[in-house]
Structure 1
C-alpha cells in the first residue's frame, strides 16, 4: 500500500495510548512513516478480536491494517448514524407520543410530566443499558449509564452556559430549589448503585432495591407535583429583548435560522430511516400502538449502536467500560444536549432543562440498571443455583463513587456561580467533567 494509507493508519493508531500491552505473540511489523510514529505494532490482545481473527502468517500486513481500518470506520459511522436516528425518533415520535398516551390513558398532566416525559428523554440511555447488559458479555451498558449521568449533569450545564453567554448575553438565574430537589434524589440513586455493586456482583435483591427506590421516587415526585400549583419555574426570565442585551428577537430568529439549516442537512442524511419511521408510525395510528412500535425501534437502534461501539472499542483495545462511559454515553446524551441548547436559545429558560437532565439520570440508574439486572438475575436463576452475576470491570464501584463526588462538585460550582447560568458555571462544569473522564480512565487501568 502507499505512503498515504500508512500515514492515515498512523494517525488513527495514535489512539493506542489507551491500549494496555500485555503480550506480543508474533513478530512486530515495523513501518516507517513521517508523522512522528516510528512503529506500528501488530498486537495480539484478548480484547482485540479484529486482530486475533486474522492469522498473521496468511495475509499481508497491509491487508490486515486495511481491513481493521475499514471495520473501525464502518463501526463508527454506524454508531453515529444510530445515535442521530435515536435522537430523531425521540424528538419527533417517541416523546411527543408520550403526551398523547397520557391523555388517552386519562392521566393527569402532572403524572405525564413526572413519569412519561423523563422516561422518554432517558430512553436512549435506558435501552442502550438493556441491550448492553442482556445481549453482550461486558459492562458497556453499565458504563454508559454512569458516563451519561455525569455527561447530563456536567456537560449539559457547561454547553448551556456557553449558549447563554453567546446568544443571551447576560446570566440566567437558576431555580435553586427545583434543581436541589432533583439532585437530592440523584444522590440517593447513586448511593443505591454503590451499595448494589460494592462487591462487584449483582444479585436479584440488589436489582429489587433499585426498582423499589424508583417506585418511591415516582411516588414522591407525583405527590410533590400534585400539591404544587402550576407556575412558571423561570420567574426571573425576562422578555426576549431584555435577556438579549441589545439583541432583538429578529436577531435571535436569524440565529435560529442557522440551526434550521443544520437540521435541514441532518434531515437529508436521516431521510431513509425517517421514512421508515413515518411508514411504521403514521399520524392516524393510536398512541398506544405507536408507543410499542417506538419501543421496538429504540431497542433495534440501541442494539446496533451498542454492538458497533463494542466492536470499535475491541479494535482499538479500549476497555468496554471506558467506551461506554465516553463514546456511548456522549452519543446517547446528544439528543438531551441539543434540545437544551435550542430551548435556551429560543426562550432563555434553563432550570427546567437542567432539572429534566437530572431526572433522566435518576430514571437511567434506577430503571435502566434495575430492570435489566432483575431480568438477567431471574434468567440466571433458572440455569444456576444463584440468581446473580458478576461484573467484568473491577473499577465500576470506584467510578460510581467518583460520580457521587461530581454531584457535590456540581452543587459547589452552582453556589460559586451564585446559581447563575453563564460562562463561569460553564468553565467549572467543563473542568469537573474532564477531570472525571481522566480519573475513570486511570482507575480502569489501575484497578
Structure 2
C-alpha cells in the first residue's frame, strides 16, 4: 500500500514538472525576444538555473541529513543522465539542430568544469576550500554569460513580436515554472527514494541512478517542451548550463556547508561523465544530433544504469 502511495505521489510530481517546464520555456523565450538575446543564453542562464533547483534542494536536504554520499552521486549521476537520457530521448523524438557556437565555447567550458571536479577530488575529499573555489568559478561563468548576452543585445535587431510581449507576465511564468519544477522535483525525489529504500541499495548508487534520474526530469521535460515548440537552442543550453551549475553551484554550496568525502569508486563515474560529454561535443561539431545518435546515447545510458545497479 505504501509503495502504491509513493507511486501516486511520484505521478503528481511528474505532472508538476510538465507544467513547470512548459511555463519556464514560455517565459524564457519571451524574455529572450524582449531583451534581444539568443535562446541559447536564456537556456544557459534562466532556464538552466530553474531546472537545477531540484538538484540544489536534494543536495541541501542531504547535507542537513548528513547523507553526503547522496550529494556527489546525485550531481555526477545527474550530469550523466542529462546527456545520456535527456539529450538521447530528445534526439529520438526529433533530431537536434544546434548552434556551432555551443561547441566552440560552452561545451568545452562544461568539460573543463568536470575536469576541475576530478582534480579537487584526488585527495579523497571535496573540502570547504574547494567549495569556495567552485563558487568563484560560478561567479566567473555568470559574468561571462552576462557579457555574452550584452554583446548579443547590441548586435540583434528587436523582434516586432517582442514589443507585444509582457515582461511581468514572462517573469511570472518563469517564477511559477521554477516553483513547480522545484516542488515537483522534491515530491518526485522523496517518493522515488522511498521506493528505492524498499529495494535496498546504497546512498551512492541511489544518488547516481534513481535520484539523478528524478532530478534530471525537469531538464528532460523542459527540453522536450522546448524542442516541440521549435526552440532547440533552449533545450541544449539548458543541459549544458545545468551540468555546469550542478558542479559549480550545487557542489560548491554543499561542500562549503560541509566537506564531502569521495569514495574511490566514484572516479569510474567521473570517467563516464566526461566520456558522455566528449561524445556530445563530437556530435555537436556537425551542428546536428541525429536520431540514431539519440538512440545510441539512450542505450549507452541504460547500460551504465544496469551496470551501476548490478555491480
Sort the TM-score into its range (normalised by shorter chain).
0.7 to 0.9
Q: Find 2:218's aligned residue among 323, 330, 335.
A: 335
- Sort the Cα spacing of 1:430 and 1:296 in 2 relative to 1 into closer, same or farther, 3 A: closer
* 1:181 equivalent in structure 2: 105
Rounded to whole Å, the distance in 1 between the matches of 2:201 and 2:8 is 18
- Is 1:144 paired with 2:39? no
Matches within 5 A, 1:91-130: 91-92=22-23, 113=42, 115-130=45-60
Aligned residues: 294
- Sort the Cα spacing of 1:429 and 1:298 in 2 relative to 1 into closer, same or farther, 3 A: closer
Rounded to whole Å, the distance in 2 between the matches of 1:425 and 1:127 is 32
After TM superposition, the score normalised by the length of structure 2 is 0.77
Rounded to whole Å, the distance in 2 between the matches of 1:126 and 1:197 is 20
Q: Which runs of 5+ in 2 are unaligned?
A: 159-167
Rounded to whole Å, the distance in 2 between the matches of 1:134 and 1:217 is 27
1:64-106 Cα shifts (integer Å, max 9, x gaps): xxxxxx33333343334234324434544x6767899x89xxx
1:106-155 Cα shifts (integer Å, max 9, x gaps): x9665983543321132222222222333352523332222221222232
- Is 1:404 paired with 2:274? yes
- Sort the Cα spacing of 1:136 and 1:91 in 2 relative to 1 into closer, same or farther, 3 A: farther
- Sort the Cα spacing of 1:137 and 1:161 in 2 relative to 1 into closer, same or farther, 3 A: closer
- Is 1:313 paired with 2:184? no
Matches within 5 A, 1:109-258: 113=42, 115-164=45-94, 173-228=97-152, 229-230=155-156
- Is 1:84 paired with 2:84? no
After TM superposition, the score normalised by the length of structure 1 is 0.56
Rounded to whole Å, the distance in 2 between the matches of 1:132 and 1:214 is 21
1:287-323 Cα shifts (integer Å, max 9, x gaps): 79x95x9888766655554443333222111222222
* 1:250 equivalent in structure 2: none
Q: Which runs of 5+ in 1 are unaligned?
A: 1-69, 165-170, 233-283, 378-387
Rounded to whole Å, the distance in 2 between the matches of 1:342 and 1:297 is 15
Q: Report SS of the residue matched to 1:199.
A: coil
* 1:430 equivalent in structure 2: 298
Q: Find 2:244's aligned residue among 362, 367, 382.
A: 362
- Sort the Cα spacing of 1:335 and 1:298 in 2 relative to 1 into closer, same or farther, 3 A: closer
- 1:337: Cα distance to partner? 2.1
Structure scoring higher RCO (CA < 8 A, sep ≥ 6) equals 2
Rounded to whole Å, the distance in 1 between the matches of 2:246 and 2:260 is 20
* Two-structure CA RMSD over aligned residues (Å): 3.6
- 1:163: Cα distance to partner? 1.9
- 1:186: Cα distance to partner? 0.7
* 2:265 equivalent in structure 1: 395
